[in-house]
Structure formats: C-alpha cells, structure tokens
C-alpha cells in the first residue's frame, strides 16, 4: 500500500509518500510559510500557500510531478495529542476529527494544525481513508501512580491535568526494533529508551509497554532540551509571576530560551559539544547539567522497570552524538554500564550495540523513523478496517 504521511504544523506541512510493504520512501517534502503573506506572491515577496488546503494542492502537484500517476491507499497523520481517549491509531471520520479538535486546549500549537490537515484531505479526497496516529497513545499504559500529579484531584477531573507523555510513536517503533536486535519478543522487553532530539524524553518500558515517561502534561517536563528547560521547581514560576512576569513571558522563557540555549547560548548539540571542546565553560556545564539529569532518570527508570535489559539511545542526539552518549554512560557506572569507545564512535544508520561484552546491560543505538511507523500503523488500520 502507498501511504501519504502528513505531519502538519501551524505554518508548515511535512510529507512523505511511502511504499509500506517495501519499507521505502518514494518522495518527500516540506511546505513552509503556510498562511504567511497573502498567498498571491505579489511584489516578489516570499510568501507561502494561503492555508492548509492550498498547501495540500502543492503537495499533490509535487507528488504527481515526481511520481506520475499513482494510487494512494491511505493518508496517515501524525497527531500530537490523543488525550485520554486514544490508545491506538484510528480511522478518521467526522466524529474522530471533532474529538481531536476538542483536545486543542491540551496542545494549542499542534492539534489545530493536525485538524486543518485532516479537513483539507477530507475536502480534496472525500473517499480517501485517513488514519490518525497519536504521539501520546503509547503512554496510555502508564499506571495511575505514574501519570498522577500530587495536586488536588479537581485539577485532573476539571482540567485534565495529568501526565500524558509524548514521542510515543518513536518509542513504540524503537522498542520493537531494539527487542528484535536483542532477539527478544517485545512482550519480554524491559528497557529505558532515551529519545534525544530537539525535544527530548526518556521512557521506562516494561514488557514492551510504557510504564513511565519524562514528558508530562506538555512536552516541557523532564530532560534538558534544545530550548526547553525540562524539570524545575514550580515555585520559580510563582516567584516570577509575583515579580510581574506574564504567562506569555513564562511560556517563552521556558519553551524557547531555556535548555541548552539558556545554559550555553546554542540550542544545537553539535555547537554545544564543539564549544565545550574549544574550552567554553558554559557549554561544558550545559552538557554536564543535561547528562546528569538524564542519568538520574535512567537510574530511576531502571528501578521502575524492575531491572532494564537494555538502555537505548535514539533521535538526532541519541543517534549521532558519541560525546553526549559517553558523558551519560560515564555517570552510569553504578549500574555497571560500560561503553565500548570504538563502537560508540562508529557512524552508522543501523541499529547497533555500543557497549562492551562485560557491560551489565547492553547499550544500543537504534535510529527512529516516525514516518515509517506512521505509514505502517496506517496500513495496518486500513487493512483491518478499524
């Protein structure tokens, strides 16, 4: 089946056409600046498509130019928030679209864009099966003691304030591939998976299911990220509020000016590592703060899963930064974890083991591929008619 995978943001739309059986990408692209400018392209000004519907016309034209006539079997959408309702991918209809829309308050930057993408396809190709694949769904197996915040119950019942967790599609895919690499059935896979990209989270996997994860009500909680703070004492926000900071000021500071950027001045891990190696003390401290935070989570989740059988690194930093992996592993000596310097330094796109034979548990690097996971889930749902 050929599946068009759509990841729509508020002003961008990423797409891939995938042959699911062959596991290949036939074409891919990115439409940017949706709704920026007047859509008419006058005065030589750089402008994007007027809206998601117009962006979709561009996608359609690009696909046909690249691939000629082809028959798409389905469209798979990456949807950020599935709330408490969605525990797995679903076939989209009007009721499902409205249900995703009702979750807008929980993901105000993402879900509205996902809904626009779904509606644009519905208008253009009314008969096309569409599947929503939720970033939160894999974490619906969290036990209540892991998803509850210790605040008055009314915050949960009236406002839905609880841990949801994100990066679920990536975690589910990486858990399957990691178990296969270790020759274990995924149902027997207990592990800690560190998804370290621009957004970063760490997840405790027991029996192939998520039992705890560092991102919470939003993707802000947990690890030190490119521009996000991760964990901090909530009283800091009360303190700043009393000092006159508005909710918007706090939001910008926590989501856009913190993390590696706040500590070192760069949000990109490569720049931070380079600066640190050139003697920049702020960059070295940013790496220490980030690796210390992650090591604490790994230790905690090792306990939460009853003894992990593997530690897995994935996403941009996890797959590529031998320096950051080494810094984290250096802090995990108490767990008996030992990296093989040579294997850690090798560059490869393949899933691989990077620990020594005497390491207490294997350390893996397993490249994630969210688009592939979305395409496979979409084909499975459409074939099963769910």
If the CB atoms of residues 1 and 287 are measured against ligand AMP, the closer one turns out to be 287
DSSP category for residue 202: E
Q: Which helix (H) or strand (E) holds 123?
A: helix 111-124
Beta strands across the sheet bearing 200-206: 209-213, 200-206, 191-196, 310-314, 363-365, 352-353
Angle at the Cα of 360 from the Cα atoms of 355 and 366, rounded to 5 degrees: 40
Nearest-approach distance from CB 9 to ligand AMP, in angstroms: 13
Nearest-approach distance from CB 259 to ligand AMP, in angstroms: 10
Distance CA 247, CA 71 (A): 47
Q: State the CB neighbour count (10 A cutoff) for residue 214.
A: 26
148-159 residues labelled b (16+ CB within 10 A) or e (exposed): eeeeeeeeeeee
If the CB atoms of residues 113 and 317 are measured against ligand AMP, the closer one turns out to be 317
Where on the chain is the footprint of ligand AMP (CB under 6 A)?
Answer: 197-198, 226, 268-270, 315-317, 320-321
If the CB atoms of residues 282 and 386 are measured against ligand AMP, the closer one turns out to be 282
Annotated binding site for substrate: 78
Nearest-approach distance from CB 319 to ligand AMP, in angstroms: 8
Nearest-approach distance from CB 199 to ligand AMP, in angstroms: 7
Annotated binding site for ATP: 14, 195-199, 268-270, 316-320
Positive/negative CA dihedral, 30, 34, 39, 43: negative
Annotated binding site for Mg(2+): 7, 370
If the CB atoms of residues 319 and 376 are measured against ligand AMP, the closer one turns out to be 319
- Residue of minimal CB distance from ligand AMP? 316
Is 70 strand, coil or helix?
coil
Beta strands across the sheet bearing 2-8: 24-31, 13-19, 2-8, 74-79, 130-134, 90-91
Long-range contact set of residues 181-189: C-beta below 8 Å, sequence gap at least 24: 181/351, 181/352, 181/353, 181/364, 181/366, 182/309, 182/310, 182/362, 182/364, 184/309, 189/309, 189/310
Nearest-approach distance from CB 268 to ligand AMP, in angstroms: 4
- The strand pair at 13-19 and 90-91 is best described as unpaired
Annotated binding site: 7, 14, 78, 195-199, 268-270, 316-320, 370
- Known catalytic residues are 135
If the CB atoms of residues 122 and 271 are measured against ligand AMP, the closer one turns out to be 271
Nearest-approach distance from CB 273 to ligand AMP, in angstroms: 6
Distance CA 357, CA 323 (A): 21
Distances (CA, A) of 94 to 115, 123, 203: 11, 12, 33
If the CB atoms of residues 269 and 361 are measured against ligand AMP, the closer one turns out to be 269
Matching residue, tokens 């920026």:
36
């Amino acid at each position: 089946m050929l599946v068009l995978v759509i990841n729509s943001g508020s002003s961008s739309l990423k797409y891939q056409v995938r042959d699911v059986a062959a596991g290949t990408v036939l074409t891919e692209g990115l439409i940017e600046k949706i709704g920026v400018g007047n859509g008419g392209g006058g005065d030589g000004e750089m402008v994007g498509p007027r809206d998601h519907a117009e962006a979709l016309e561009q996608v359609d034209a690009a696909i046909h130019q690249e691939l000629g006539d082809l028959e798409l079997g389905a469209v798979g959408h990456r949807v950020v928030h599935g709330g408490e309702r969605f525990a797995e991918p679903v076939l989209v209809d009007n009721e499902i679209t409205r249900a995703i829309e009702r979750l807008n308050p929980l993901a105000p930057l993402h879900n509205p864009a996902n809904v626009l993408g779904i509606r644009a396809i519905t208008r253009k190709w009314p008969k096309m099966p569409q599947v929503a694949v939720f970033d939160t769904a894999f974490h619906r197996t969290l036990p209540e003691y892991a998803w509850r915040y210790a605040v008055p119950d009314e915050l949960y019942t009236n406002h839905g304030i609880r841990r949801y967790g994100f990066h679920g599609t990536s975690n589910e895919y990486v858990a399957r591939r990691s178990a296969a690499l270790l020759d274990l059935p995924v149902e027997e896979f207990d592990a800690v998976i560190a998804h370290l990209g621009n957004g970063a989270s760490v997840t405790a996997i027991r029996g192939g299911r998520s039992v705890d994860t560092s991102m919470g009500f939003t993707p802000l909680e947990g690890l030190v990220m490119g521009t996000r703070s991760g964990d901090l004492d909530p009283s800091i926000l009360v303190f700043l509020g009393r000092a006159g900071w508005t909710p918007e000021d706090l939001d910008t500071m926590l989501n856009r000016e913190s993390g590696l950027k706040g500590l070192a001045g760069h949000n990109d891990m490569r720049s931070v590592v380079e600066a640190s190696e050139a003697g920049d003390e702020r960059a070295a401290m940013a790496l220490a703060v980030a690796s210390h935070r992650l090591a604490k989570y790994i230790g905690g989740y090792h306990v939460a899963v009853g003894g992990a059988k593997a530690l897995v690194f994935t996403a941009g930093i996890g797959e590529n930064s031998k320096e950051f992996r080494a810094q984290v592993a250096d802090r995990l000596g108490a767990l008996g974890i030992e990296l093989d310097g040579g294997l850690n330094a090798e560059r490869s796109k393949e899933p691989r083991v990077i620990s020594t034979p005497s390491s207490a548990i294997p350390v893996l690097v397993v490249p994630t591929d969210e688009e592939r996971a979305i395409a496979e889930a979409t084909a499975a749902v459409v074939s099963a008619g769910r």
